[in-house]
Amino acid sequence: MRVRFAPSPTGTLHIGSARTALYNFLFARHTGGSFVLRIDDTDAARSDAALEASIMTDLRWLGLAWDEGPDVGGPSGPYRQSERLERHRAAAAELLAAGRAYRCFCPEERLEELRREALAAGRTPRYDRRCLDLPADEVRHRLDAGEPAAVRFKVPSGEVVVDDLIRGRVVIGADALSDPIIVRSDGVAGYNFATVVDDRDMGITHVIRGDDHLTNTARQQLLFEALGAPVPRWAHHSMVLGPDGGKLSKRHGATAVGDYRELGYLPEAIVNYLALLGWSHGEDEVLELERLVRDFDLGRLSPSPAVFDLAKLGWLDHERIMALAPQEHERRFAERLPAGTPAQAAAALAAAFQPSLVRYGDAPAAAAEVLAPPPPPPDLRAAALAAEPQLAHVRALRAEAPEWLTPAGARELLAAYRAWGKEQGIGARALLMPLRIALTSAEHGPELPFVLAALDRETALARLDHTLAGPGESTPKPGDQP
């Protein structure tokens, strides 16, 4: 089995394209076949080496390693279409010699006029075959004179039946097809023809891609047959739609894999989620890559569109975060925090927010709730100030403690504080709520032991002193001396 993923380096890796790459990868690994990466860069004006590099970076980040490709080589190279132009031209010459293709001299202006007329009449735009029956002598004379000419494939009449591994028998009517340009007048092959020639030369056995390619598939199947090449098995999975039912686009938020990496999602969560979009997999939802490889089956992919649910991705990412080893979670959390954040603070906050964190991109805002809170609203500050005896006592406890508390040490301090409060007949809420307000300017947030462990002694005392001083004092910053 040989499959390929063939992105165009004219943009970044879209989340829908990543799903296509994933399905090809899973199929190759499940069957023990080869996964080929080919770069379809024949659009020279828009192709960009930097975009090619970013696509490869994103695929590697997702863990989708390829067996053959432009960077690793292989027996079927080269793996950039721009380096295969002579192969495309040679194949076009075969079709011209066999009478399966013809030269077209129609200028772009005429083709655009045909297109406008068809659309105005409510018809599918089709080439009118004006150049199909030009005498051979005229064609040769015009070519010798240097007149630009494209090469068109002569589409045979009748329906095209595509035997699809996901959708079953798909019939493409003849009206949907027109004689496609297989080589432009500049000598560069068009998409459909270059794809067929390269798939043929690379021995691709299965083509797995989105159902927006079905019409292209009909043309390509005819081209394979005209070239006398084996037709690969087709599998057209569903498209990924936005929550509003439209094609997933930037209006729905992030759409590029790189965007999700910057937002702090784990690659394992994205792979897990993309695999489940349109794949029936029973009740299990949190699946490792090894399990996905083992269970992958093209026949279980749904032909119905899949809706991208950011909340579901967030849930999966949270599950992955909770499963990380503490040290790995702490590293990932800390690397998102501002430079200079003390390691003790980062470790405490990582532990504090792990139960609620959806993605690591939220770490800075979460940490700021403790490290750089805004001034408390007047009503909360008044409530904290009313608990002056409690705050004064806990201040004394914190002043005698080490510069940094571990969460365990903070629990011991709070236990002593609560024991004092019990002696004074003060309830837990009246003890802890004013302390939380003084330290974070909020009534709710992460557990207090983690808050105390995230603040060095001087910062904690400065915030307590600020609250005890009453209205009119400026809000202390982290590290302010008491």
Active-site annotation, residues: 250
Q: DSSP for 108-157, please give it.
A: HHHHHHHHHHHHHTT-------TTTT--HHHHHHHHHTT---EEEE-PPS
Helices 363-371 and 428-440: crossing angle in degrees, nearest 10, is 110
Of 225, 254, 261, 255, nearest to 239 by C-alpha is 255
HSE value, Cβ hemisphere, 13 Å, CA-based, for 395: 21
| Burial letters 217-245, b for 16+ CB under 10 A, else e | bbbbbbbbebbebebbbbbbbbbbbbeee
Could you give phi then psi for residue 32, rounded to 5 degrees?
Answer: 75, 25
Q: Name the one residue in this structure whose structure tokens are 């999975």.
A: 237
Are 72 and 41 spatial neighbours (Cβ–Cβ below 8 Å)?
no
Cα–Cα distance for residue pair 202/62, rounded to 1 Å: 25
Element (H, E) at 302: none
Q: Name the one residue in this structure whose structure tokens are 């202006």.
A: 109
Residues forming beta bridges with residue 256, ordered by sequence position: 14
Tokens of 403: 């510069």
Q: How many helices (H) and strands (E) does the chain have?
A: 20, 11
